[in-house]
């Protein structure tokens, strides 16, 4: 299969502004839940999920945590400069950069950069009973982003503590409002555990602690980590999907997840498109490891169009076994990788058999992923949601897609 030629205009719909949810419902599990099963659509609420899944279904969630990635500085002239931390450069590890008590470098977007022609920016942050002086210095321009070196005058304070004290939650731009204190909890899943995302895996926002405990007690809950980047909001501007450049995101999975995938390869329901991309990327990592396409010590990376250059017959269970063998050889209990995988119509899913997700923007890579999973029925799903008052996008309602799983 070659890189598909797809007109993104075929994957759009009219989304009235009033259908975009600016805030979540007061109770997470009261969101509406559209269920698509074997071509049929029915309406439920999210708390019904416990009764809609079968005993052998495995829910896979993305336990990434949204960081307070937006920092604001003021120049002596009064101009406000926003620095949006996208991805760590030095140290490159999320764990290390948040724990660092010394200078760090991040790839950033800078708002109002025309007002920041030269010199450093400083901000005074009250923290730990004293003030911390945070300095931002431009190091180099890389395309649309800027590498920023952050330094501060307290060696007993980590960069993670500075972000927690001074940063703002980066809610999506289509909400058309500033972040509020309520977003600190609303725009975070109840199972968020590993710092690193600048956008929430929003399908998981509907879970309550009680629902989470139910699935965990049943042994039906598995976790992956994929740190969501700002590229998730990037629309398809090209006239052909094949010309769109997919963003790279970093992920990790544990040995216990792979053992469950090996034992139960056909029962996975992924919570969110980020979990889908992680699970499907694992399959292509396995084929690369099997075929010796990765040099020892080199990062494991799935390219945007890797699956479209060849047909693979490796079963999901065998793919999990390849990854487990790799972990044994490397003496590790966690695999780290990066993915640019773009899932579009024509893609054949390997690990994922069901999906929970929100309603996505027109002409977006996420909508293409939904179309790949449901075929042309994505139009019926979205038409039904528009006609029956579903709320759209990050703080909106959800759908459970089971195109091939029987009741």
The whole-angstrom distance between residue 166's C-alpha and the CA centroid of its chain comes to 23
- Name the 3-class secondary structure at 156: coil
* Residue 218 structure tokens: 């049943």
CA–CA separation, 19 and 183 (whole Å): 19
Same domain (yes/no): 346, 276:
yes
Same domain (yes/no): 208, 164:
no
| Total domains present in the chain | 2
pLDDT of 404:
67
Same domain (yes/no): 232, 319:
yes
Calculate the average pLDDT of the chain. 93
Measured between alpha carbons, how far apart are the two ends of the chain, in Å? 32
* pLDDT tens digits along 29-86: 999 999 999 899 999 999 999 999 988 899 999 999 999 999 999 988 889 999 999 9
Domain closes at, from 107, 135, 168: 168
Same domain (yes/no): 146, 240:
no
Q: Which residue has the tokens 């009973």?
A: 129
Same domain (yes/no): 133, 282:
no
* Residue 393 structure tokens: 């996008």
Cβ-contact 205, 187 below 8 angstroms: yes
Same domain (yes/no): 215, 261:
yes
CA–CA separation, 143 and 36 (whole Å): 41
Same domain (yes/no): 61, 78:
no
Same domain (yes/no): 81, 53:
no
Cβ-contact 130, 165 below 8 angstroms: no
Residues of the chain whose pLDDT is less than 70?
1, 404-407
pLDDT of 233:
76
Domain extent for 234: 8-66+184-402
Cβ-contact 249, 228 below 8 angstroms: yes
The H or E element that residue 378 is part of is helix 377-387
Q: Is 155 exposed, middle or buried (0-12, 13-18, 19+ CB in 10 A)?
A: exposed
pLDDT of 406:
39
pLDDT of 395:
98
Same domain (yes/no): 237, 331:
yes
Helix 365-374 to helix 273-290 angle, to the nearest 10 degrees?
A: 80
Asked if residue 318 belongs to a domain, the reply is yes
User: Which residue in 53, 63, 354 sits closest to 220, CA to CA?
Assistant: 53
pLDDT of 6:
93
Same domain (yes/no): 105, 203:
no
């Amino acid at each position: 299969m070659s890189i598909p030629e797809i007109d993104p205009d075929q994957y759009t719909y009219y989304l009235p502004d009033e259908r975009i949810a600016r805030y979540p419902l007061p109770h997470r599990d009261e969101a509406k839940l559209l269920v698509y099963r074997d071509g049929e659509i029915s309406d439920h609420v999210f708390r019904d999920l416990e009764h809609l899944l079968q005993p052998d279904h495995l829910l896979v969630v993305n336990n990434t945590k949204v960081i307070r990635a937006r920092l604001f500085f003021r120049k002596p002239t009064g101009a406000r400069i926003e620095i949006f931390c996208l991805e760590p450069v030095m140290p490159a590890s999320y764990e290390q950069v948040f724990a660092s008590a010394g200078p760090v470098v991040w790839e950033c977007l800078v708002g109002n950069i025309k007002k920041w022609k030269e010199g450093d920016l400083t901000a005074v942050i009250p923290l730990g009973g004293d003030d911390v002086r945070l300095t931002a210095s431009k190091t180099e321009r890389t395309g649309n982003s800027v590498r920023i070196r952050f330094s501060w005058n307290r060696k007993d304070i980590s960069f993670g503590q500075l972000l927690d004290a001074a940063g703002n939650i980066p809610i999506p731009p289509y909400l058309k409002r500033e972040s509020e204190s309520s977003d600190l909890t609303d725009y975070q899943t109840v199972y968020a555990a590993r710092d690193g995302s600048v956008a929430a895996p929003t399908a998981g926002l509907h879970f309550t602690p009680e629902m989470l405990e139910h699935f965990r007690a049943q042994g039906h809950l598995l976790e992956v980590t994929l740190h969501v980047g700002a590229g998730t909001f990037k629309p398809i501007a090209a006239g052909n999907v094949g010309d769109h450049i997919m963003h790279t995101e970093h992920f990790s999975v544990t040995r216990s997840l792979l053992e469950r995938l090996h034992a139960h390869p056909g029962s996975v329901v992924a919570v969110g498109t980020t979990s889908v991309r992680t699970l499907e990327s694992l399959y292509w990592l396995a084929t690369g490891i099997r075929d010796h396409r990765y040099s020892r010590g080199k990062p494991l990376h799935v390219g945007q169009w890797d699956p479209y250059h060849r047909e693979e017959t490796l079963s999901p269970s065998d793919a999990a076994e390849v990854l487990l063998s790799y972990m044994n050889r490397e003496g590790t209990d966690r695999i780290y990788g990066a993915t640019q995988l773009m899932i579009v119509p024509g893609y054949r899913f390997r690990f994922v058999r069901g999906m929970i997700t929100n309603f996505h923007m027109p002409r977006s890579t996420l909508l293409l992923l939904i179309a790949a999973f449901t075929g042309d029925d994505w139009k019926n799903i979205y038409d039904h949601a528009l006609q029956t008052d579903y709320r759209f996008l990050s703080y909106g309602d959800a759908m459970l897609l089971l195109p091939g799983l029987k009741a």
